[in-house]
Amino acid sequence: MADFVESAKNFVNSAVSRTSWEAQKQLRVRGKQGEIDKLMDQRHQLLDELAQIAMTQYQQGTLSDPQLSRVCAGIMELDHDVKNREVQLQDIKKEAFTPEQPVPVTDYSPPPFTPPSSSAASKPPAGPGYQGQIICPTCGNSVRANSLYCRSCGARLR
Ligand SMILES: [Zn+2]
């Protein structure tokens, strides 16, 4: 009987120490996760800064790296596309219901996003008959006709 009481006591003791050990572990996990989150925040801020520096240099024409220029051109073009969509969005919101007029049919689907690429293999078909594409005078790649910047080389198109 004494053995039973003793082992029951030990069981309770080990259960308590296990609980506090688990609590300690939870605290350490949360603390470490907090440290990681803080570092990731700092990393994001520096990445934003890096992007800002590159974008500024690109807009000033002092960015010499072609790969960075291409990414910057892609961002500029997306910004341009977003602005267009925002104007279109405001136009749609302003539309009033007029029963005698048919609903204007417009293509609202966003254009497919082509990630910046320098490889000739991913070039869209170019040449006469291909709608909505023009040839970049700087690098010869085809770009969307309404593009402000070439996605291949970053040159300003108009
Ligand atoms: Zn180009």
pLDDT digits (tens, 9 = 90+) for 96-136: 988 876 666 666 666 666 665 554 444 455 444 446 888 88
Do 42 and 79 have their domain in common? no
d(CA 13, CA 154): 70
pLDDT computed for residue 129 by the predictor: 45
Q: Show the domain range for 68.
A: 64-93+132-158
Same domain, 24 and 74: no
Q: Is residue 87 part of a domain?
A: yes
- Dig out the tokens for 2 from the structure: 């004494």
The per-residue pLDDT for 25 is 96
141 within 8 A of 148, measured Cβ to Cβ: no
Q: How far is the CA of 118 from the centre of ligand 1 (A)?
A: 10
What six digits make up the tokens of 53? 């520096």
Question: What is the pLDDT of the chain when averaged over all its residues?
Answer: 83
Taking only the tens place, the pLDDT of each residue in 47-91 is 999 999 999 999 999 999 999 999 999 999 999 999 999 999 999
> Ligand 1 centroid to 136 CA: how many Å?
5
Q: What pLDDT does 122 receive?
A: 47
Is the pTM value of this prediction over 0.85? no
Q: What is the pLDDT of residues 136-148, one digit of tens each?
A: 888 888 888 888 8
Q: Domain for residue 146, yes or no?
A: yes
pLDDT (0 to 100) of residue 142: 87
- Confidence (pLDDT) at 93: 95
**Does 10 fall in a domain?**
yes
Kindly state whether residue 106 falls inside one of the protein's structural domains. Answer: no
Same domain, 42 and 1: yes
In this prediction, residue 97 carries a pLDDT of: 87
Looking at the structure, do residues 4 and 41 belong to the same domain, yes or no? yes
Per the structure, how many domains does the chain have?
Answer: 2
- Residue 151 and residue 84 in one domain: yes
Is residue 16 domain-shared with residue 78, that is, in the same domain?
A: no
Q: Measuring CA to CA, which residue among 3, 157, 153 is closest to residue 74?
A: 153
- The reply to whether 101 falls in a domain is no
CA of 84 to the centre of ligand 1 (A): 22
Are 83 and 49 contained in the same domain? no
Decide if pLDDT at 27 tops 80. yes
Same domain, 1 and 49: yes
Q: Which residues make beta-bridge pairs with 122?
A: none
User: How far, in Å, is the centroid of ligand 1 from the Cα of 80?
Assistant: 17
Between the CA of residue 72 and those of 23, 50, 79, 157, what are the distances in Å? 48, 12, 10, 14
**Alpha-helix runs per DSSP H in the chain:** 2-60, 66-94
Whole-number pLDDT of residue 103: 61
Residue at 120 is within a domain: no
Could you give the 3-state DSSP secondary structure of residue 149?
Answer: strand
pLDDT at residue 12 tops 70 = yes
- pLDDT on residue 44: 97
User: How many angstroms separate the CA atoms of 116 and 152, rounded?
Assistant: 6
Kindly state whether residue 9 falls inside one of the protein's structural domains. Answer: yes
The environment of the single-atom ion ligand 1, i.e. residues with CB closer than 5 A, is 136, 138-139, 150, 152-153, 155
